[in-house]
Amino acid sequence: MRNFILAKPVDMSGGFKDFFDTIGLTGGGLVTKGIAAVIAVIAVRMLLQLSSDPKGALRKGSMAIGTLFVAVVLALYGGELFSTVTEAKG
């Protein structure tokens, strides 16, 4: 019988830092993803609360789509955008 190894063992004795390093997130990246998720939830809530007035619905809908766009950009590029702020040069 063959011995199949699907993945090499990873030492997780360092706790959360080791875990986030394995998935490619730093502490700042995790916070940025969390903020983007909260903004996305707010944008979806804005979309669900559109009024029946066409002019008001168009204005509120466009604001909600813009907010959702900001959340997506923050989720995709937030780590690169804020990396210059968190990495101070000494």
Q: Give the predicted TM-score (pTM) of the model.
A: 0.60
What is the structure's pLDDT at 83? 67
What is the structure's pLDDT at 87? 54
Other CB atoms closer than 10 Å to residue 11's CB: what's the count? 6
Q: Please give the chain's pLDDT, 90 residues, in tens.
A: 567 777 777 666 766 666 666 666 666 667 778 888 899 999 899 888 877 888 888 898 899 899 999 988 888 887 777 666 555 555
Other CB atoms closer than 10 Å to residue 29's CB: what's the count? 18
What is the structure's pLDDT at 48? 87
Q: How far is CA 72 from the centre of its chain?
A: 8
What is the structure's pLDDT at 89? 59
